C-alpha cells in the first residue's frame, strides 16, 4: 500500500501548493474508519481507496478529488457520516463523497425499467459535479485490475457492467486510455480464450516480422527530420479487445486484419500538425475514407487530433494520430483536464471544454421524458454512438449521432422547426428527409405553416430528442379520437380471448406497460403505437396467440401429406433452428435440432432421415424449452428470475429444483417460447441478473425417443 508521504509526493509532482496536511488528515481518517475491514484478496480494505487516489494523481487532479478518493467508501461502509466528513474536510468534499456513495448504490445492470431510472439518477448526480464520476471510474478501474479475487459469477457480472456502461462512459468523456483498459480488463473475464488467442498471434507475428513498431516509428522520424519538423513519435500495438472488435465488425481473421498498429505524432504547433500530415501522405499511400480532421471539427468533449490511415512498411496499414502537446493532454484526460493542475495552479489548456455542458444538456433534454424506456433509449443513443458534425447556413456547428437525418437536424435546432419540416437541402441540393448526413455537410430545413409530424417519421429519425418530440406530437393531435378508437380496439382484443376490457383490466395493462394512465394506453392503441394484443398480453399472457402466428400443426415444412411430427424432448428444437426429422416406428416423424447428440447414433441409418425446415413466418409461444439455471440462495432471487422471464413475454410452464446447496440453488425451468430469438432474449435477460451464476439450455439424452 502506498503510504501517505508517497501519495503526497505524487500530488506535489504537479501541484507544489497542495494542502498536504489535509491529505494526511484524510488518509489517517480513512485508515481509521476502514480498520478491521479486508478485501476478498485478504488485503486491508484501505489499500483500495489509496490505489484509487493514486490513479487520479496520474491525471493531475485537484486536492478535493484526491481526498474524495481516500474517503469515497467511508460513509457507505463505515461508521462515518456525511456531517462528520463535512465538519472535518468541508462541504465540497462531503458533497463529492455523498455523490460517489449514491453512484455506488445504483444497480446499473438491473431490469430495463429500473436501469433507465438509475441512468437518470446517474446523469443527474454527474451533472452536479463531474468529479464524482471521475472518482467512480477510477474506483471501477482498480476493482477491475484486482477482479481475480472475486467469485467467477461476480467477475462476469462486473465485467459486463463495465463493458456496457463504464467503458463507453469513459470514452464519451474523452478518457480514451481508461476506456481501452476497462474494455480489455472486461474482455479478459468475458472471453479469456479469444483474448489469449490474439496475444499468441501477436507473439507469433513479432517472431515472423520483427519489431514492426520500432521500424515504422523510425521511418516516420526520418521523414520528419528531413523536413525539419520537431515532433515526438510514439507507436504501439492496439489492445486485444480493440483488435477483437475489428475482427468481429469486419468479419476478418487476424491474419487479414492489417491496421493493428497505431502511431502518434506530437507536434509543437497546430500548423505543424498539417505539415506532418502532408509529409506522411507524401511518403505513404493514404487509405481512402480513413481520414478525420478533429482539429477543424473538434468532438464535443474537447478532443482534437488528425487521424489518417496509410499503407506503411511492407504494405501494412497503420493508423497515425497527429496533435499538439495541449491537444494530447486533453485527449489523455478528457473532461478531467478541467480540474488538472500544473505547477500549483489549474492548468490553462485552451482545448479543455466545460465538463458539465454535455451532461447538463443531456439531463435537461431527458428529465421530462414521458416513460423509462424512452429515456434509456435516448441515453444509449447519446453515449454509445459516434458523432457527425454538420453546419447551419450561417456556419454554426450542429453535432448529431452517426446515421442522423435532416429531420434529426431540424429537431436539434428546435422542436418547432422539426414539427413544421416539409423538406431539406444538403449542400444546396434538395434531398429526401431520410438521407443520412455526413461530416461537414451544410443543412437547410424547409418549413411550412400547418405542417404536423407524421407517423412514418419515427422510422426516419435516430436521435432520442426527435423521437420524443414526434411521439408527443402524434399523441397530442386528435388525442380524443385516438382514445375513443383505442377503447374499441381494446374491447375487440379482450373479447377475442373471452375477457372484458374493464377499467380495472385496462389500468392493470397500463401499469404493466409502465404507462402513466389508462387514457395514455388507449391513446397509444388508437394511434397504432401499440398493438391491442400487447395490452391483452400484459394482463393475460397465457391466453394470447400472437396475431397471424403459425399453428404448431403446420409449423414444419417437408412432411408428407397427412404426416404429423413430434419434437424430440432430448434437444427440444424451436423455430429458427436447423432441424432434421427421424422416423420412428409407431411414433411417426420426430424432429431433432441438427446438433443433437442423439443423432450420432443414427448416422448410418440414412433411410430414416427426413429433410425438414421450420415455416418462416411468426410462431405462437408454445414451444417448451428447459433452462438449467444456477442462482444464489438469497431472498427474492427466484421471484426476480420469474419476473425477468415474464418481462420477456414468456410463460413458465414448470419449475423444479435439482440441487440445493447452502449458497446456491440449481433448478430446471420449463419456458414456452416462440422461436430461437425469443429463447436468446430470455436467456440474456436471466444471465444479466447479478445473482444468476449460470444459465444454459438443458438437454437430457435420457429423454431420447
The set of catalytic residues is 76-77
Consecutive H or E run containing 232:
strand 231-237
Q: What span, in angstroms and rounded, lies between the C-alpha atoms of 480 and 526?
A: 9
Is the CA virtual torsion 355, 357, 361, 364 positive or negative? Answer: positive
Consecutive H or E run containing 494:
helix 479-496
Beta-bridged to residue 614, according to DSSP, are: 556
* 637 exposure class (CB count in 10 Å sphere: 0-12, 13-18, 19+): middle
Pairing of strands 261-267, 317-324: parallel
In order of 194, 262, 386, 437, the CA distances from 242 in angstroms are: 12, 11, 16, 27
Consecutive H or E run containing 642:
helix 637-647
**Taking a C-beta distance cutoff of 8 angstroms, is the pair 326, 350 a contact?**
yes
In order of 154, 204, 247, 559, the CA distances from 195 in angstroms are: 20, 14, 12, 45
Beta-bridged to residue 44, according to DSSP, are: 38
92 CB contacts (<8 Å, ≥6 apart)? 64
Among residues 645, 640, 647, the alpha carbon closest in space to that of 683 is found at: 645
**Cα-flanking dihedrals φ and ψ of residue 35, to 5°?**
-60, 130
**Taking a C-beta distance cutoff of 8 angstroms, is the pair 381, 463 a contact?**
yes
**Rg of the Cα trace of the chain?**
30
Helices (H), 501-603: 503-512, 518-526, 532-539
Residue 630's SS3 state is: strand
Taking phi over 0 as left and psi of -120 to 50 as alpha, with beta for the rest, 572 belongs to: left
Q: What span, in angstroms and rounded, lies between the C-alpha atoms of 571 and 598?
A: 9
Tell me 11's DSSP state. H
**Taking a C-beta distance cutoff of 8 angstroms, is the pair 535, 498 a contact?**
no
Q: What span, in angstroms and rounded, lies between the C-alpha atoms of 437 and 401?
A: 10
**Taking a C-beta distance cutoff of 8 angstroms, is the pair 7, 27 a contact?**
yes
Contacts of range 594-597, beta carbons closer than 8 Å, 24 or more positions apart: 595/571, 596/568, 596/570, 596/571, 596/699, 597/570, 597/571, 597/699, 597/701
Among residues 413, 410, 440, 436, the alpha carbon closest in space to that of 422 is found at: 410
Q: What span, in angstroms and rounded, lies between the C-alpha atoms of 62 and 92?
A: 12
Mapped to the 3 state alphabet, what secondary structure does 98-131 carry? HHHHHHHCCCCCCCHHHHHHHHHHHHHHHHHCCH
Q: In residues, how long is the chain?
A: 705
Take residue 51 and report the three cell numbers written for it.
490505489
**Taking a C-beta distance cutoff of 8 angstroms, is the pair 391, 426 a contact?**
no
Amino acid at each position: 500500500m502506498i503510504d501517505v508521504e508517497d501519495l503526497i509526493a505524487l500530488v506535489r509532482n504537479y501541484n507544489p501548493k497542495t494542502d498536504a496536511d489535509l491529505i494526511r488528515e484524510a488518509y489517517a481518517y480513512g485508515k481509521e474508519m476502514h480498520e478491521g475491514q479486508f478485501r476478498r484478496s485478504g488485503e486491508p480494505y484501505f489499500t483500495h481507496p489509496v490505489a484509487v487516489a493514486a490513479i487520479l494523481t496520474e491525471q493531475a487532479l485537484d486536492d478535493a478529488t484526491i481526498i474524495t478518493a481516500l474517503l469515497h467508501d467511508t460513509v457507505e461502509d463505515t461508521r462515518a457520516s456525511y456531517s462528520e466528513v463535512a465538519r472535518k474536510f468541508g462541504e465540497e468534499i462531503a458533497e463529492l463523497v455523498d455523490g460517489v456513495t449514491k453512484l455506488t448504490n445504483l444497480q446499473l445492470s438491473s431490469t430495463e425499467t429500473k436501469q433507465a431510472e438509475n441512468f437518470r439518477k446517474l446523469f443527474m448526480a454527474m451533472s452536479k459535479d463531474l468529479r464524482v464520476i471521475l472518482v467512480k471510474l477510477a474506483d471501477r478501474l482498480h476493482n477491475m485490475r484486482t477482479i481475480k479475487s472475486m467469485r467467477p459469477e461476480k467477475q462476469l457480472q462486473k465485467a459486463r457492467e463495465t463493458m456496457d456502461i463504464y467503458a463507453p462512459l469513459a470514452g464519451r468523456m474523452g478518457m480514451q486510455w481508461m476506456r481501452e483498459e476497462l474494455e480489455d480488463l472486461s474482455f479478459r473475464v468475458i472471453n479469456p480464450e479469444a483474448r489469449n488467442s490474439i496475444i499468441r498471434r501477436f507473439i507469433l507475428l513479432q517472431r515472423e516480422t520483427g519489431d514492426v513498431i520500432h521500424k515504422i516509428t523510425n521511418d516516420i522520424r526520418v521523414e520528419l527530420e528531413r523536413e525539419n519538423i520537431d515532433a515526438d513519435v510514439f507507436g504501439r500495438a492496439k489492445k486485444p479487445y480493440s483488435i477483437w472488435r475489428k475482427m468481429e465488425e469486419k468479419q476478418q481473421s487476424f491474419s487479414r486484419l492489417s491496421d493493428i498498429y497505431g502511431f502518434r505524432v506530437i507536434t509543437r504547433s497546430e500548423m505543424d500538425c498539417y505539415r506532418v500530415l502532408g509529409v506522411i501522405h507524401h511518403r505513404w499511400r493514404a487509405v481512402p475514407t480513413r481520414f478525420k480532421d478533429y482539429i477543424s471539427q473538434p468532438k464535443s468533449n474537447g478532443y482534437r487530433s488528425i487521424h489518417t490511415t496509410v499503407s506503411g512498411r511492407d504494405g501494412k496499414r497503420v493508423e497515425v494520430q497527429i496533435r499538439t502537446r495541449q491537444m494530447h493532454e486533453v485527449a489523455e484526460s478528457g473532461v478531467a483536464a478541467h480540474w488538472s493542475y500544473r505547477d500549483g495552479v489549474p492548468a490553462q489548456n485552451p482545448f479543455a471544454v466545460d465538463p458539465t455542458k454535455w451532461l447538463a444538456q443531456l439531463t435537461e433534454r431527458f428529465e421530462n421524458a414521458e416513460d423509462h424506456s424512452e429515456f434509456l433509449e435516448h441515453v444509449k443513443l447519446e453515449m454509445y454512438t459516434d458523432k457527425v458534425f454538420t453546419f447551419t447556413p450561417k456556419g454554426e456547428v450542429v453535432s448529431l449521432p452517426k446515421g442522423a437525418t435532416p429531420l434529426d437536424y431540424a429537431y436539434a435546432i428546435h422542436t418547432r422547426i422539426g414539427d413544421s419540416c416539409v423538406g431539406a437541402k444538403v449542400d444546396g441540393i434538395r434531398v429526401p428527409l431520410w438521407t443520412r448526413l455526413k461530416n461537414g455537410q451544410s443543412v437547410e430545413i424547409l418549413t411550412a405553416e400547418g405542417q404536423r409530424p407524421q407517423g412514418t417519421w419515427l422510422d426516419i429519425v435516430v436521435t432520442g430528442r426527435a423521437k420524443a418530440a414526434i411521439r408527443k406530437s402524434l399523441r397530442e393531435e386528435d388525442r380524443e379520437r385516438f382514445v375513443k378508437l383505442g377503447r374499441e380496439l381494446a374491447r375487440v382484443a379482450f373479447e377475442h380471448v373471452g375477457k372484458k376490457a374493464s377499467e380495472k383490466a385496462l389500468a392493470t395493462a397500463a401499469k404493466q406497460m409502465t404507462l402513466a394512465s389508462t387514457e395514455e394506453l388507449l391513446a397509444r392503441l388508437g394511434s397504432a403505437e401499440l398493438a391491442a394484443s400487447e395490452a391483452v398480453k400484459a394482463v393475460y399472457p397465457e391466453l394470447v396467440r400472437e396475431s397471424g402466428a403459425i399453428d404448431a400443426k403446420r409449423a414444419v415444412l417437408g412432411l408428407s401429406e397427412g404426416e404429423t411430427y413430434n419434437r424430440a424432448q432430448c434437444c427440444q428444437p424451436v423455430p429458427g433452428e436447423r432441424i432434421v426429422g427421424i422416423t420412428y416406428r409407431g411414433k411417426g416423424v420426430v424432429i431433432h435440432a441438427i446438433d443433437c447428440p442423439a443423432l450420432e447414433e443414427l448416422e448410418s441409418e440414412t433411410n430414416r432421415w427426413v429433410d425438414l425446415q421450420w415455416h418462416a413466418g411468426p410462431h405462437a409461444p408454445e414451444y417448451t424449452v428447459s433452462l438449467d439455471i444456477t442462482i444464489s440462495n438469497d431472498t427474492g432471487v427466484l421471484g426476480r428470475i420469474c419476473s425477468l422471464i415474464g418481462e420477456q413475454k414468456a410463460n413458465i410452464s414448470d419449475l423444479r429444483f435439482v440441487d440445493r446447496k447452502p449458497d446456491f440453488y440449481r433448478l430446471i425451468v420449463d419456458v414456452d417460447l416462440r422461436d430461437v430469438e425469443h429463447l436468446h432474449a430470455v436467456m440474456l435477460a436471466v444471465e444479466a441478473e447479478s445473482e444468476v451464476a449460470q444459465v444454459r439450455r438443458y438437454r437430457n439424452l435420457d429423454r431420447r425417443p
